[in-house]
Amino acid sequence: MDLDTQELDTRNADATAPKLIIPQLGRLYRLFDPVSYAVLRLGFGIVLLTHGLPKVLGHSHGSMDNPLASSMRLIDSRLHLPAAEMLAYFVTFLESGGALCIALGFMTRIFAAMITFEMIGICFVLAPAWVWLDKGMEYPVLMGLLALHIAFTGAGRYSIDKAIGKEI
C-alpha cells in the first residue's frame, strides 16, 4: 500500500469510527496499532510453528506419535485427496516455513492465504465437533480467521515486506 492510499484509509477509518468515550486514548491507539498488529502476526506465526516443527523434526506432538504420518493419514482417509504424502509435506512446509515467514512479515499475504485454506481443510476433517479439547474445529476456525485477516491486511509496518517495499 502506498503512502497516499494509506493516508486515505486512515482518513476514511477516522470518519467512520465511533467516537471514543475518552478521546485522549485515540493517540495511544494509533501509536500502538502497528505494534500490536506485529505482535499478533508474530504470535500467530509462532503458534503455527509449534505444529510444523514436530512434523519437520519427527517428534511427537500432543497425542500424535508421528504428526507427519498423521497428516498423511487424515488427508488420505478423511479428505480423500490424491497425493496425500505430497500434501502432508506441503502442510509441513506451510506450518514451518510459512509460519516463520508470517512471523517475520515476509511474503505474508500469500502464506496467510494458503494457511487460510489449510485451516478450512482441517475444519472439514474435524467437523462437526466444535470444542478443541474434544478434537473439534474451534482452534482451526480461529487460526483460519486470523490467517484470513493477515492475508487481507498484509505484513504491516514492522515487517520484512515493508522493509523491502514489496508485497503480493
Tens of pLDDT, residues 65-122: 899 999 999 999 999 999 999 999 999 999 999 999 999 999 999 999 999 999 999 9
- Could you tell me which residue, 48 or 12, shows the higher pLDDT? 48
What pLDDT does 60 receive?
A: 86
Residue 128 preceded by cis peptide, ω within 30: yes
Are 128 and 140 within 8 A, CB to CB? no
Domain that residue 121 falls in: 34-164
Residue 13 placed within a domain: no
Residue 26 placed within a domain: no
d(CA 124, CA 128): 8
Residue 3 placed within a domain: no
**How open is the CA angle 11-16-18, to the nearest 5 degrees?**
120
- The domain total for the chain is 1
**Share of residues in the chain with pLDDT > 90 (%):** 74
What pLDDT does 168 receive?
A: 79
Residues paired with residue 61 on neighbouring β-strands, in sequence order: 64
Instruction: Tell me: pLDDT of 167 over 90.
Output: no
d(CA 63, CA 139): 16
Residue 24 placed within a domain: no
Instruction: Tell me: pLDDT of 59 over 70.
Output: yes
